[in-house]
Amino acid sequence: MQIQELIQQDFGTLSDLIRAHAQLQPAHPAIVLDDEMLDYCSLDAQMDQVAASLQREGLVKGDVIAICAKTSLNYACMFLGALRAGVTVAPLAPDSTADGLARMVADSGASIFFIDQGMSSSALALVLETPLLCVALDDSALGIPFSNWLAHADTKPLPVMVDADSAFNIIYSSGTTGIPKGIVMPHAFRWAQIKLFQSLGYGPEAVTMVSIPLYSNMTLSSFLPSLGMGCKVVLMSKFDPKNYLQLSEKHRVTHSMMVPVQYQRIMDFEDFNRYDLSSFRMKSCGSAPFSAALKADILRRWPGELIEYYGMTEGGVVCILNTRLFPNKLHTVGQPASGHDLRVIDDAGQELPRGSVGEVVGHSGTMMTGYHNLPEKTAEAEWFDFQGLRFIRSGDVGRVDEEGFLTLLDRKKDMIISGGFNVYPSDLETLILQHPDVSEVAVVGVTSERWGETPVAFVVRRPQATVSSEELQIWANQRLNKAQRISMIEWVDHMPRNDIGKVLKRSLRASWLAAGKVN
């Protein structure tokens, strides 16, 4: 069966698509990282080795593995090979704290922990304590060397039938206290993403740049469909504008998906105009607010189309904005993708007419199964219309205009998106409140040229407190993930509150802006 026939099916698997590419174009580059390269034949064979190794360890369909490591070819093969065995993957951030990582690993129910030396020092300490089998993807002494653990070449796994509802991966929200929510995505979710990408020029002649770590859902939303469509995928071990531009020129990159802060850093790079980017056909962006001015600058100076995506890790509706076709809509996040249903509801859960302001909810083929082990939280994230159709709440407040374009006005929840990663203020507030000199704290996101948004903590000190802002910032950041780190501590005498005692974070943010402070 040809690739297009496979993709036209109502459901299929990424594993089958990669196998088809291995048969049709075995020597075509699949994944490139620095001086290493895997063609589709080699990738397919290593996926078999990984799947057979997991089966040797006793893992069966529905079991879970956790991966906490930097981007590498071994990481990619491990992730993809697990899918071939019907095993669910929980990719975890290497800069997680030891406590946060321990909670996520335990919550996932992982049977094996795949790691490397790219983990934070505190997370590495967890490795010494975990009872799980640890396999070192970098062949370091942290665990069983991956090259020793991996089955011999040409080893074939037992075939596994995966259905649409089987769990593909568990993506964890950031968190330092309590158990972060694990977002369970079924295979149907990823299959729908692949079908969505087929109309964007992805194929064997395309070269996709992946510049965000592989544990990020933003990365997987580009990386996985690119392989499914037979592209050459160029990985970056760490993003920086100069290296991105050099690799783009070297590999004649045609497609790239990034977060707004990456685009901003590239466009601000002083030598940007010296690089030949004429190969680009499609650039896309998502995961964070994308300013109209930045979109316009990219359209003006960078060849190729620019598509903005709006959606949630939990799924629901995906909106698409083709910026070149709709230059008068750059302030919006576009229209719902084909087959995606967007509604706007009020606080009581009643559907509102077009043009009204309310919470955005969406239904599509890309929706999470639910939050892992958290049925009550799952129920809170769902909304059902009068016919019983299931929607996912976005937590975002917006308005849909007469042409169907969505304008986001605010986030109902106070989530901060820093460098493309979700940061939840409540996690940071709970941590800072543990300091003995802190009476009250509220964390808000403020604009950052480097990160898009960054957390600032407004703190009320206890009487006779002696801690300085610098000391408190260091204390907190030593206990937080990299993306969560506090950029500044602001002392306040009291918190602004409404009549029912809720802290008015908008007032705190407004005072910050009025003072002309920047990050």
Give pLDDT tens digits for 362-406: 999 999 999 999 999 999 999 999 999 999 999 888 899 999 999
Q: How far apart are CA 109 and CA 120, in angstroms?
A: 22
pLDDT one-digit tens code per residue, 75-87? 999 999 999 999 9
pLDDT at 413: 66
Report the 10 Å Cβ neighbour count for 218. 21
Regarding pTM above 0.75, the answer is yes
What is the average per-residue pLDDT within 306-324?
96
What values do phi and psi take at 230, rounded to 5? 85, 25
pLDDT one-digit tens code per residue, 163-208? 999 999 999 985 433 457 999 999 999 999 999 888 888 999 999 9
pLDDT at 513: 81
Looking at residue 150, what DSSP letter applies?
A: S
Distances (CA, A) of 131 to 102, 111, 140, 372: 11, 10, 18, 22
Q: Is the pLDDT of residue 344 over 80?
A: yes
pLDDT at 177: 37
For residue 134, give the nearest of 170, 92, 126, 237 by alpha carbon: 126
- Amino acid found at 168: F
Choose between 121 and 89: higher pLDDT.
89
What is the average per-residue pLDDT within 283-306?
92
Q: How far apart are CA 442 and CA 501, in angstroms?
A: 13
Contact assessment for residue 62 and residue 166, using Cβ atoms and an 8 Å cutoff: yes
Q: Both tokens of residue 239? A: 């993003």
Q: How far apart are CA 85 and CA 19, in angstroms?
A: 14
pLDDT at 161: 96
Q: Which strand (E) or helix (H) includes residue 305?
A: strand 305-310
Q: How far apart are CA 49 and CA 515, in angstroms?
A: 59
Q: Is the pLDDT of residue 66 over 70?
A: yes
What distance, in Å, lies between the first and last C-alpha atoms of the chain?
54
Q: Both tokens of residue 203? A: 């194929």
Looking at residue 180, what DSSP letter applies?
A: P
- Burial class, 61, CB count within 10 angstroms (exposed 0-12 / middle 13-18 / buried 19+): middle
What percent of the chain is modeled with pLDDT above 70?
A: 96
- Amino acid found at 288: A
- Burial class, 389, CB count within 10 angstroms (exposed 0-12 / middle 13-18 / buried 19+): exposed
What is the pLDDT of the chain when averaged over all its residues?
Answer: 92
What values do phi and psi take at 304, rounded to 5? 95, 170
pLDDT at 126: 81
pLDDT one-digit tens code per residue, 469-506? 999 999 999 999 888 999 999 999 988 875 445 678 88
Q: Both tokens of residue 367? A: 């929706």
Q: How far apart are CA 400 and CA 407, in angstroms?
A: 6
What values do phi and psi take at 29, rounded to 5? -55, 130
pLDDT one-digit tens code per residue, 102-159? 999 999 999 999 999 999 888 888 887 889 999 999 999 999 999 999 999 989 999 9
Q: Is the pLDDT of residue 432 over 60?
A: yes
For residue 316, give the nearest of 356, 387, 369 by alpha carbon: 369
pLDDT at 410: 64
- Amino acid found at 404: G
For tokens 């998906």, the residue is: 257
Q: Both tokens of residue 345? A: 């509801």
Choose between 423 and 457: higher pLDDT.
457
Confidence of residue 411 (pLDDT cuts 50, 70, 90): low
Domains of the chain: 3-27+37-157+166-187 (3.40.50.12780), 311-411 (2.30.38.10), 416-514 (3.30.300.30)
What values do phi and psi take at 275, rounded to 5? -95, 145
Contact assessment for residue 299 and residue 274, using Cβ atoms and an 8 Å cutoff: no
Choose between 76 and 516: higher pLDDT.
76
pLDDT one-digit tens code per residue, 22-44? 999 999 999 999 999 999 999 99
Distances (CA, A) of 491 to 57, 426, 440: 54, 18, 10
Q: How far apart are CA 345 and CA 358, in angstroms?
A: 5
pLDDT at 1: 62
pLDDT at 179: 59
For residue 186, give the nearest of 450, 365, 27 by alpha carbon: 365
pLDDT at 176: 33
